[in-house]
Structure formats: structure tokens, C-alpha cells
Amino acid sequence: MFTNRMFNILVPVISVLLGLIVGAIIMAAFGYNPLSGYQALWDGSFGDIYYFGETVRQVTPYIFTGLAVAFAFRSGLFNIGAEGQVIVGWLAAVWVGAAFDAPMIIHLPLALLAAALAGAIWGFIPGLLKAKLGVHEVIITIMMNYIALHVSNGLIRSVLSENQDSSDPIKESASLASNWLMEMTSFSRLHYGILIALFAAVIMWFLLEKTSAGFELRSVGFNQHASQYAGMNVGKNIILAMVISGAFAGLGGAMEGLGTFGYMPTHSAFTNLGFDGIAVALLGGNNAFGVVLAALLFGTLKIGALNMPTAADVPSELVEIVIALIIFFVASSYIIRWVLLRFKKEGK
């Protein structure tokens, strides 16, 4: 009755439910009504068409960062650096978007390409160090995050603007924003990026499942030594996985730069898009379709949370706690499986 496939669906669903239940207990413990809390959350993400537009907008970069982390995971790598890759991608997209003049058909793809390239470079360095020197990618990607943050702030102040705290706005021809989508969602910041994000998910699925390069990447993820023995170039695959992963995250940054904001502000702290991408990937079971669903959930939680303090007086950080609990339960999937099997035995 319980096949592996069913576990892969049941574990995240149960994790989400458990996370929400514990969140409700915390709300109740602090004297809030959990029902009105979650009602506010729901209203804040799907309550009307404006909120719906904002939710989908928030989902867009999450799909990309989720794909980025999931792609690396499938090759046995842990990309904590999606955060930095988002930042450099955002920077590169805005830079190209503001500095060049070209018709949209050239300008927009060019800006997207620049973002992907910047992210790819930011993934290449830890990939190279891992493949050639065996340096753990987790540490290097953490360091690369800080370097991205400080360097991009420095570049925004010195190159992309004249000592301002944000870059110049991008040209119309590089923008993903769409009047049509905005009007339809009563002027949310919804933009065309969601289509690119869904397309990227299809690309990832195809690349991993249907190509021989994808087979190599996955088999390196399963067992490096066996892959080596089978004649695969493990080092090359590690670098490739990090480069593609970085490119996905970089595009996530482009969604913010070309779609939502149209410029890049200096950041005093991380955007958290990349870190949340880790959670999205885990919950999505590291596959493309799952990532899209998980991104939808996280976008909903994040945007809905903004409505919680006003509508139900619950601090929006409650949602951060719920997200943390969900990750915790996904990580502990062994115990969930164990309990499920117990139940199954007793049912007989």
C-alpha cells in the first residue's frame, strides 16, 4: 500500500500539516485565535485578486531558487549560495537593463542572460573548488553570499548610480512588467516572470530526466565512486551542476530586478530568497514539479503573513516559525515513515 512514490507525496503533506498545527498551538498559547490567524493568512494571499497577484509574484523567484537548490541536491551538492547568486543575478540584470538601449526582443533576453551568467559564475567558483580541491561547497557558498552582498552594494553606490542607495531604473525594453497583468490583478506587481519560471521548471525536468547529461548528474549525486568507475568525469559534473544551479538562482534575481522592482536597492541584509529556496527545494522533494508546488505554498505563506498583524494582530514572524517547523518535519521524514508504517501494521 505504501510505495516509495506515496511516501514522497505523503511526507511533505504531513510535514506541512504538522507545521501548521504546531503554529496554531503557538498562536493559542499566546492568546490568539488560531482560526482567525490562519483566516487572515488565507485572506492575505488569496482574499482578493490583488493579493492573488502579489502571491504569484512572490512565487516566481521562489520557483527559481527552489529549482537551483534542488538541482544541486540531485547532484549530491548543497548549494547554500543561492542567496548570493540571486543577488549577483539581480545586479547583472539591472545593470544590462539600465545601461543598454535595444529593442525589447534583444534587450530583455540579454538582461536575462546576464543574470543567468552572473549566477553561473557565482556557482562555478564553489563548484571548481569542490571538484579540484575537495573544499566543501557549503563553506565556500556561504562566503560567496557575503561577497555578493558587499560587492553588489559597492557597485550600486559607485558604478550603477552616483552614490545613491539604489540603481537607476531599468529601461522599458528590458522590463518584465506588464500593464495587462497588473490591471487584471487590480495593480499588483504581477509580471511575466511567472511564465519564464514555469518554463524553467520544465527545462529542469527535461534536463535531469530525459538527457544523458542529466543522467550523469543524477548518478554522480547517487554515488560518486560508482560514477567514477563507470567512466564518468565526476569533477566536470560537479562543476556543471553548480553552474546550472547558479544560473537558475541568478534568473531568480532577474525576476526581482526586471519584474517586481525595476531597479536594485542596496541591501543591508540578505534577501532570503535563496535561503527560502532551500526550504522550497526540500519540501518539493527536489523535483521540478514539486518545487513549483512548494514555491506556491511558500509564496502564499509569505504574502499572507503580511496580512496577519493587521487582520488578526498576530506577528508575521509566526509564519517564519511555521516554515522552520515544516523544514524540520521534512528533515525528519524517517520518523514520519516509521509512524505511517506502524499505523499500517496496526490497521491490518
Partner 1 sequence: MLDILQSIIPPAMFFSAPLIFTALGGVFSERSGVVNIGLEGLMVMGAFVGVVFNLTFADVFGAATPWISILAAMVVSAVFSLIHAVASVTFRADQVVSGVAINFLALGLGVFLTKQWYDKGQTDMVSQPFYTLDIPVLGDIPVLGPLFFQNMYLTSYLAIILAIIAWYILYKTPFGLRLRSVGEHPMAADTNGINVYAMRYVAVMISGAMGGLGGSVFALTIALNFSQSTIVGQGFMSLAAVIFGKWHPLGAMGAALFFGFAQSLSVISSSIPLLEDVPQIYLLIAPYVLTILALAGFIGRAEAPKANGEPYIKGSR
What is the rounded distance in angstroms from the CA atom of residue 199 to the CA atom of residue 268? 32
Which one of 94, 279, 294, 296 is in contact with partner 1 (CB under 8 A)?
279
Dihedral sign of CA atoms 193, 198, 202, 207 in order? positive
What binding mask, one character per residue, do residues 209-248 give for partner 1 by CB under 8 A, x or -? ----------------------------------------
The three cell numbers of residue 155 are 557597485
Task: Tell me the window of 46-54, 159-167, 227-235, 323-331 that interacts with partner 1 (CB under 8 A).
Answer: 323-331
Q: Which helix (H) or strand (E) covers residue 97, if one does?
A: helix 82-99
From residue 28 to residue 67, what is the string marking binding to partner 1 with x (rule CB under 8 A)? --x-------------------------------------
Q: Which of positions 122-151 make contact with partner 1 (CB under 8 A)?
A: 125, 129, 133-136, 138-140, 142-144, 146-147, 150-151
C-alpha dist (Å) from residue 346 to 78, 104, 261, 339, 340: 38, 63, 55, 11, 10
Residue among 120 and 319 whose Cβ is closer to partner 1? 319
Distance separating alpha carbons of residues 197 and 199, to the nearest angstrom: 5
154 binds partner 1 (CB under 8 A): yes
Nearer to partner 1 (CB atom), residue 154 or residue 265: 154
Residue from 9, 17, 195, 331 touching partner 1 (CB under 8 A): that is 331
Determine the Cα–Cα distance for residues 73 and 50; give it in Å rounded to an integer: 35
Q: How far is the CB of 77 from partner 1 (least distance, A)?
A: 11
Cβ 332 to partner 1 shortest distance, Å: 4
| Cβ atoms of residues 74 and 285 within 8 Å | no
For partner 1, which is the closer residue by CB, 44 or 53?
A: 44
Quickly list H helices, 104-233: 104-133, 137-155, 179-184, 193-210, 212-222, 224-229
**Applying CB under 8 A, does 72 fall inside the site for partner 1?**
no
Could you say whether residue 325 binds partner 1 (CB under 8 A)? yes
Residues 6+ apart with CB under 8 A from 162: none
CA distance 248 to 69: 9
Sheet strands (E) in the chain = none
75 touches 237 (CB < 8 A): yes
Indicate whether 10 belongs to the interface with partner 1 (CB under 8 A): no
How far apart are CB 150 and partner 1 at their closest, in Å?
4
Quote the crossing angle between the two packed helices 34-46 and 288-305, to the nearest 10°: 110
Among 328, 341, 342, 344, binds partner 1 (CB under 8 A): 328
Nearer to partner 1, 26 or 102 (CB): 26
Distance from C-alpha of 176 to C-alpha of 197, rounded to nearest angstrom: 12
Stretch that binds partner 1, among 101-109, 172-180, 227-235, 272-280 (CB under 8 A): 272-280
Q: Please state, in angstroms and rounded to a whole number, the distance separating the CA atoms of residues 237 and 219.
A: 10
The residue ranges that bind partner 1 (CB under 8 A) are: 26, 30, 78, 80, 125, 129, 133-136, 138-140, 142-144, 146-147, 150-151, 153-154, 268-270, 275, 278-279, 282, 315, 317-321, 323-325, 327-328, 330-335
